[in-house]
Every structure is written in C-alpha cells, then in structure tokens.
Amino acid sequence: MSTATTHGGPQLPQERRLVTEIPGPRSRELFARKQSAVPPGIGTTLPVFVTHAGGGVIVDADGNSLIDFGSGIAVTNVGNAAPRVVERVQKQVADFTHTCFMVAPYESYVAVCERLNELTPGDHEKRTFLVNSGAEAVENAVKVARHATGRQAVVVFDHGYHGRTLLTMTLTAKSMPYKHGFGPFAPEVYRVPLAYPFRWPTGPDNCAEEAAAQAIDMINKQIGAENVAAVLIEPIAGEGGFIEPARGFLPKIVEFCRANGIVFIADEVQTGFARTGHMFACEDEGIVPDIITTAKGIAGGLPLAAVTGRADLLDHVHSGGLGGTYGGNPLACEAALGVLETIEQDKLVERARHIGEVMLPRLRAVQEHNPIVGDVRGRGAMIAVELVVPGTKEPYPAAEIARRCHEQGLLVLTAGTYGNVLRFLPPLVIPDHLLEEGLSILEKALNVD
C-alpha cells in the first residue's frame, strides 16, 4: 500500500504499518528540535511527529501508520479531518476568519448554541455561550454559579480534573504534575470523597451510599450548604482514571444540591459528544445538570468549548460580564456544526456503544487470566483498565505497558491518580479490524512476566 498520501481523513489506508522502529529517525530528529525549542513542562506521550491522521490511524513523519486509541484525548470523536468538518472549515476560512462575536456576530455561533441547548440533558429553557478550552468553560461555569447564587464556595471531588488555569488547577485533585510548585491556589475550593468502587475501603457494594453521606456531611459541617455556590463533578472522572462513580452516587449529590439551592455543574469536557454511548454521560443515570461544560469532542480538534445551563442562571450575569476575544471563533463553530451532523448522520452514539461491546468482553477475558489487570471499566468508547501488582491493589505503573503498546504501533494513553490506568478513547469511526488488532497488541503488552 502506498505511503504517499496528500490528505488525512477517513480515506487514509486503515492499517497498522510499521516501516521503522517507533519513533523513527525523522521523528527523533524533530524531537531533538522540540527539546531545544519547547520547555519540558510540555510533555510527550508518544514522540512520533504526525503528518496525517484519519479514521482509526495516525501517520508519522517516517511513514509509520499507528492505531489510534487516544483521539487526541477524546477530541477527534468523529475522526481526524472528518469530511463534514473539513468541508465547512474550508469554506469558512475563505469567507472570513474572525470578527469577534462580541463585536459583530455571525450565525454559526448562534446555531451551535441552539444545538447545545437542544442536545444537553433536560428540556428546561437553556442558554449557551462559547469559549476556547475546557478550563475556560469550567472557570466560566463557576463565575456564573457564584454570580447567580451570591455564594462563593465550590465543592469538587477526589480524583477530579478540571484544567490547568489558576482556578481549574485548584479544582483539580492531583498534585503532581498539575499543581506541584504552582501555588498559592484560588480560595473557596473544597474537596470531598468520590464514590470510587474499586478502591472504596468497605468495598463496592455500599460505596455510593457511604461516599454520598460522607461528602454531604463534610459539606454541611465544614462549609455550610448555604455558602456553597456550586458542586462540580465529572460524571466519569477522566484524568483520574475513568472512574465511574458507583451508581446512585450522582443522583444523591444532585438531590442534595436541589434541596440546598446549590448549582450542580457537570464537567462533560472529556465524556461529552457520543463518547460514552450517550450524547452526554449524565444521561446514563438521568442526571439533569444545572450547568454543563463541554469542549474536546465538540469541534473535531478546533479550539472550542461551551457553557450550557439553565436560562435563569446564565441570564443572571450582567450584559458584557462574560466573553473573550476568540470564544466561538467562526472556524471552530463551523467545525462543531460538522461534528454534530456527523454524530447524528453516522449514528456515532450507537457506534460508541458498539466499541464498548467489542472492548469490554475482550478486556474482561484478559482480566480472568492476567492478575495485573485489577479492574476493567468504562462505558461506550471510554474504557480503561486499572493495573495492580498481582494479588494486591497496589498500583502497577501504566506507563510501562503504554510504552510497549507504542513500540508496536498502538497509541494508548495513561491516566489515574496513581498513574496505573490505561485508558482507551478510540475515534468512534475506527474500523472494527483495527479495534481488534489494537486489543491483541494490548493483550500481549500486558503479559509482563
């Protein structure tokens, strides 16, 4: 098969093809340049330099074609260079590139907001505004909640990740690498336990009830519910290790928020847009957030994020109180419209479910005979394995296994508070044969002795 492709997208040969070692000589050369031009604070999961990507593959500067189980961290759900995205963005870039929506508006921004108001959980009246990144969406959701409630405290959870800006870094649970050395942090942020079934001290069965009771007790005692503006949670903790809170936990937290006038914010930056086999992960337990933050999968890789929520909350902020120069850039808005069309027309919600149905049974079969696999979990195309030292719950480093996958041309990501989770976020358009091949590579990589 020819390696000379001029475009990415789904027409790229859907095959794993290794023509050099990984990384190859051209990538190593580029990586050396990166090391002298870019600070080490900007890490690298897999040091191959990309030239093309599409469907389920990433092609590098040496002509290797790798299987993509990462989607650029849950971004290219519709695939890289997805045709409807490419077409709309190409037209837009030739028409106009920027006016600033706050200066002179354009239709695509409004259309994206209308679509999000329709698609997000709940049929109450909603508003949406657009920003550039997940962190910016979360910051803005907190601003709105504080403004609307006149309260200051924000409650977040163990294992939570919400971004790298001052406020969102504060909201994030894990010190290294996200917070270490970057203090002082923002005030009025409080952390409570998350219902993490695999690691709950009394076991998974009472996890939801006990964790919710502890969280609510801490809020009442340490903060006072009447001082809390918002409770902020990822419906599945992403960077924390794809932790699905024990069923029943989220509804209890929502109920507590409703009873106490607290804004319930769901951070669906990683779980959003068909990823989990629902359009949004909250749908799984019928959760209707007061505010939902989205980003990543919304625009196929163009920088876009959104804050969607109850009209009465969002309308509370005075005119001109929200915004930013680039928020809802016209290229990103066209990309988002292309993404939403693609999800609908290509039935990618169903496709995400199918991916889960292929991955979970195979991973559970691996777990049966390989004691390094402590837990297999996830929904749809958001799947993870938590690695342990055999016979214990002690974390086994996922980076070691990830490196073995990378060498074989399978891009996987790590996660987890203890760095012991391998996570799989394939593009929803990945063909089944690549999914199966990737799982076979993973299965071998997990055989460590």
Nearest approach in angstroms of CB 62 to ligand PLZ is: 26
For ligand PLZ, the closer CB: 35 or 44? 44
Interface map 225-264 toward ligand PLZ (x if CB under 6 A): ---------x---xx-------------------------
Whether a cis peptide bond, with omega within 30° of 0, leads into 105 is no
For ligand PLZ, the closer CB: 238 or 338? 238
Q: What is the Cα–Cα distance from 329 to 310, expressed in whole angstroms? A: 23
135, 145, 307, 339: residue in contact with ligand PLZ (rule CB under 6 A): 135
Nearest to ligand PLZ by Cβ — which residue?
134
SS3 state of residue 130: strand
Question: 153-157 and 228-233: which strand pairing?
Answer: parallel
Q: What are phi and psi of 246, to 5 degrees?
A: -50, 140
82, 208, 295, 306: residue in contact with ligand PLZ (rule CB under 6 A): 295
Residue 60 is a binding residue for ligand PLZ (CB under 6 A): no
DSSP H helical segments within 157-227, as ranges? 166-171, 207-218
Residue 134 is a binding residue for ligand PLZ (CB under 6 A): yes
69, 161, 198, 264: residue in contact with ligand PLZ (rule CB under 6 A): 161
Cα–Cα nearest to 50, from 81, 82, 93:
81
Strands, sheet with 57-60, edge to edge from the N-terminal-most edge strand: 50-54, 57-60, 65-68, 410-411
> What's the sign of the alpha-carbon dihedral 438, 443, 446, 449?
negative
For ligand PLZ, the closer CB: 225 or 331? 331
Q: How many residues bind ligand PLZ (CB under 6 A)?
A: 16
Nearest approach in angstroms of CB 242 to ligand PLZ is: 11
Nearest approach in angstroms of CB 268 to ligand PLZ is: 7
* Stretch of 4-12, 266-274, 311-319, 370-378 lying at the interface with ligand PLZ (CB under 6 A): 266-274
In 162-251, which ranges are E strands?
189-192, 228-233
Nearest approach in angstroms of CB 69 to ligand PLZ is: 15
Residue 430 is a binding residue for ligand PLZ (CB under 6 A): no
Question: 410-411 and 65-68: which strand pairing?
Answer: parallel
Residue 133 is a binding residue for ligand PLZ (CB under 6 A): yes
67, 155, 167, 269: residue in contact with ligand PLZ (rule CB under 6 A): 269
Query: How far apart, in Å, do the first and last CA atoms of the chain sit?
Result: 36
Nearest approach in angstroms of CB 236 to ligand PLZ is: 9
CB 417 within 8 A of CB 241: yes
Residue 73 is a binding residue for ligand PLZ (CB under 6 A): yes
Residue 329 is a binding residue for ligand PLZ (CB under 6 A): no
CB 306 within 8 A of CB 130: yes
26, 28, 143, 164: residue in contact with ligand PLZ (rule CB under 6 A): 164
Interface map 165-204 toward ligand PLZ (x if CB under 6 A): ----------------------------------------
CB 276 within 8 A of CB 309: no
Residue 284 is a binding residue for ligand PLZ (CB under 6 A): no
For ligand PLZ, the closer CB: 24 or 300? 300
For 54, the token pair is 């599409």
Nearest approach in angstroms of CB 303 to ligand PLZ is: 8
> What's the sign of the alpha-carbon dihedral 165, 170, 173, 177?
positive
Between CA 300 and CA 336, with CA 159 as vertex, the angle to 5 degrees is 15
Report CA dihedral (59, 61, 62, 67) to the nearest 10 degrees: -20
68, 267, 334, 386: residue in contact with ligand PLZ (rule CB under 6 A): 267
* Stretch of 10-18, 131-139, 309-317, 422-430 lying at the interface with ligand PLZ (CB under 6 A): 131-139
Nearest approach in angstroms of CB 270 to ligand PLZ is: 4
What is the number of alpha carbons within 13 Å of residue 388 lying toward its C-beta? 15
Q: What is the Cα–Cα distance from 233 to 216, expressed in whole angstroms? A: 14
239, amino acid identity:
E
Q: What is the Cα–Cα distance from 207 to 412, expressed in whole angstroms? A: 29
Chain residues in the site for ligand PLZ (CB under 6 A):
73, 133-135, 138, 161-164, 234, 238-239, 267, 269-270, 295
